[in-house]
Structure 1
């Protein structure tokens, strides 16, 4: 996109109207709030819906299968963001991507709200994966477009936007969890669908007045000569996949286990191809190649961290349902409510961390050291949750405060890795691969959840302590190793702090 077009977009957006920020931030804040409300509301009860018995309104799947599906689903959501970003950049722009994505997400939640077969369930998952891949990365891109590159409000605007994400993530499990767990799963999914519908209505009704040209210009459109070739390749790809599925399922070649294995391979193969492509490109300078090498251990550390953090929606969600005393302090706790803890702690602690880094200034730890501390906290969060089982036994219901403490500790690690990783990604990215590097960072979560689809198979009541101990211990060991090699990594970062 040319500089002229970028400024033209900014000029088309009313620059005052939402807490001193561009009016468009109102539209994007509430679009993302309702999208996250629908997503996290659905996710808060999805695992329980899968493994609860049919007589209890669930699908009656095996618990390990349900947790593996949750992990694969999460991995595909992050992978699909690559497709969503490409479609927005090359074909129809970010605004249409957000709209189309919202439609698909809403349809996916509607499909979940209809009592039906396992086939309808998987159709809903495909719709939500594709929809989230279109909406999630592109709504953030539109936020960037409503500010000029020199606007001092830019970082604060993203902070307000980030607050919308976490507010939606905090409220949804409380509301959808209450309805879905205590009344009816499908009614809970209906609330998620309504949430996405409200977000879409707000987006459509306010975007023209508040967003101006933001999101409407295709940054790198396909040339007329490219369109036929690209559309042909896409059509061939879809046909090939359809044939493989049609042949693979009846012959037994494509099973659930083989699909999990395939996603596990792709989870690490795609990032590897990204690294190799960027490193070997003629557009990458020697200094940038050194920074790419420095980024590899940070990426692997992020995979380890997200592997533990994302198990909050699988292993720890199951732990909340089956191992936790839910009648506490005179009230009945829904196991879905624990999913609100992560965004709640982020809302409370993020400003504290931001203040702390500003206070330390040049004395704050380097990026690799922050990552190593993040891994130590992640590992500690798993070691904490094995203690009640050690003291009380595998059959006893544990105090819910142990689970609260585990979620709290992992959030400390998240605030050391997630925002720091985003910042480091922008600093270490080769100039020619800025967008691809951000996609690579998102793939650390995809790889982690692909790994989790394999790990959750080893969790049972009998192996509970070993499971938490080995994974938590591995994270701590990796954190210590990263701490010792951080000076070497810092040298490869070539001046980036």
Structure 2
């Protein structure tokens, strides 16, 4: 009898990738180069936006740049929802990943053009391409394992190490080129990285077998034509709205950022409501979705703080840290490489830990640990900010310590969340559910971008301490709710 869960694939001859299916290596390297491009550009984005015209930047206010950064990150993850739908209904995960990589590369090449408009045009393309690539490559990783296999968390942790290998190299290269030579040269280096990723994916497709080869629930005939027609109408309406804003003189950075933030929250509420009332999912699947809603809220709160590393903490690194080493002032963006290198070191340890613990530590408890550690990192950041009051420069080791605490929290939550999403997903929403997981990051980043505006007006110690303690309290609440959430998960650990 056929099974609705995938078989763990081992290629002929028993070749594996760190003891896992060989296909994981192709997906690992593709994601590594995609994250190189993403984090390379991200490392210098806020610094470029806030740099003066004399320094070849756009000269935006710090609060506006923080909001743009947060909204850009949010849109990258929001587009994972339609990207998952495209894979499920039209292209399949494999082709979605390919086309997503091509569009991302084009976006970075556009950003390399030395004009002001190119940055926003390029970011738009990157948002669209990442929406196609990001959820579907993760879905393909999940498809390599049985649904409740204890090896699944370990596999996602190894995949997560690939993400962070690209994220570690990127700021060192793109950051140096951008800050020391030319901003757009840094953006160009990110484009080359994504190009490598696309080439590697095409050459390694033989390892994938039939993973992601076909849409899970394809649209055919009239249904397909109707869907494409609606998409075309939606694009036209969006263009008309943008044109109306421009004619009314409202097409400003702040207006667009605020509208996108509101749209992300509304879409999130609507999407959860749609799944929960869908009569085609079973009662067990609905219960698991209720459990997932709890995890979603915890994850959004986590990313609201965590992803300020590229905005508020990046500006702190540029303005308030002593970066002089033997007469050389290293780029502020280089500190963005600390987080991923710590994850590279910690990911195998986390993978081994989750494999050893098995089902003894539940997913909700792992999320709670992530929230508490994330909050403590901002409490530590408050102490660093206190030392910098009055214009004194602090040691960059403060930021290294902050990132170390955050990494411990991330390894407790993020790869575990990827795995939990693929386990709790209703069959009908397989790829779209991975998009829903990334929507948690979108909500966190969108709200975090608005919250980060306060960093310009609040005293820095107050800002960090307030949101750090709030995360700790939420983490403690997650511990108290863990037993209830596990019941809702209906047998999934």
Q: TM-score scaled to structure 2, two decimals?
A: 0.90
Task: Determine the C-alpha separation between the residues in 2 that align with 1:439 and 1:299.
Answer: 12
Q: Which residue of 2 aligns with 1:479?
A: 475
- Structure 2 alignment gaps of length 5 or more: none
| Segments of 4+ moved more than 6 angstroms | 4-15, 146-155
Higher relative contact order (CA 8 A, sep 6+): 2
Out of 232, 236, 241, the position equivalent to 1:239 is: 236
Task: Determine the C-alpha separation between the residues in 1 that align with 2:115 and 2:323.
Answer: 30
Distance 1:221 1:382, change over 3 A: same
> How far apart are residue 453 of structure 1 and its match?
2.0
SS at match of 1:459: helix
Per-residue deviation, residues 387-435 of structure 1 (Å, max 9, x unmatched): 1332452411111111111111111111121123233334444454444
More divergent stretch after superposition (22-31 vs 313-322): 22-31
- Find out whether 1:412 has 2:411 as its counterpart: no
More divergent stretch after superposition (285-294 vs 191-200): 285-294
Q: Which residue of 2 aligns with 1:74?
A: 73
Task: Determine the C-alpha separation between the residues in 2 that align with 1:478 and 1:115.
Answer: 44
Q: Which residue of 1 aligns with 2:319?
A: 322
Q: Which residue of 1 aligns with 2:99?
A: 100
Task: Determine the C-alpha separation between the residues in 1 that align with 2:372 and 2:83.
Answer: 34
SS at match of 1:59: coil
Task: Determine the C-alpha separation between the residues in 2 that align with 1:142 and 1:435.
Answer: 9
Task: Determine the C-alpha separation between the residues in 2 that align with 1:335 and 1:484.
Answer: 40
SS at match of 2:79: helix
Q: 1:10·1:148 contact (CA, 8 Å) conserved in 2?
A: no
- Find out whether 1:441 has 2:452 as its counterpart: no
Task: Determine the C-alpha separation between the residues in 2 that align with 1:478 and 1:164.
Answer: 30
More divergent stretch after superposition (321-330 vs 8-17): 8-17
Task: Determine the C-alpha separation between the residues in 2 that align with 1:325 and 1:64.
Answer: 23
Task: Determine the C-alpha separation between the residues in 2 that align with 1:17 and 1:369.
Answer: 31
Q: 2:80·2:436 contact (CA, 8 Å) conserved in 1?
A: no
Q: Which residue of 2 aligns with 1:450?
A: 446
- Aligned ranges 1:53-92 → 2 under 5 Å: 53-92=52-91
Per-residue deviation, residues 202-234 of structure 1 (Å, max 9, x unmatched): 333443x44455444333322111122112111
Distance 1:141 1:481, change over 3 A: closer
Q: Which residue of 1 aligns with 2:219?
A: 222
Q: Which residue of 1 aligns with 2:114?
A: 115
- Find out whether 1:193 has 2:191 as its counterpart: yes
Q: 1:13·1:23 contact (CA, 8 Å) conserved in 2?
A: no
More divergent stretch after superposition (13-22 vs 373-382): 13-22
Q: Which residue of 2 aligns with 1:162?
A: 160
Out of 270, 277, 297, the position equivalent to 1:300 is: 297
> How far apart are residue 332 of structure 1 and its match?
2.9
SS at match of 2:271: helix
- Find out whether 1:332 has 2:329 as its counterpart: yes
- Find out whether 1:381 has 2:380 as its counterpart: no
> How far apart are residue 25 of structure 1 and its match?
4.0
- Structure 1 alignment gaps of length 5 or more: none
Q: 2:154·2:354 contact (CA, 8 Å) conserved in 1?
A: no
Q: Which residue of 1 aligns with 2:129?
A: 131
Distance 1:381 1:196, change over 3 A: same
- Equivalenced residues, count: 493
> How far apart are residue 135 of structure 1 and its match?
1.7
SS at match of 2:394: coil
Q: 2:67·2:450 contact (CA, 8 Å) conserved in 1?
A: yes
Task: Determine the C-alpha separation between the residues in 1 that align with 2:138 and 2:469.
Answer: 35
Distance 1:361 1:14, change over 3 A: closer
More divergent stretch after superposition (283-292 vs 149-158): 149-158
More divergent stretch after superposition (472-481 vs 152-161): 152-161
Q: 1:307·1:451 contact (CA, 8 Å) conserved in 2?
A: yes
Q: Which residue of 1 aligns with 2:39?
A: 40
Task: Determine the C-alpha separation between the residues in 2 that align with 1:215 and 1:478.
Answer: 37
Out of 450, 458, 462, the position equivalent to 1:466 is: 462
More divergent stretch after superposition (346-355 vs 52-61): 346-355
Q: TM-score scaled to structure 1, two decimals?
A: 0.89
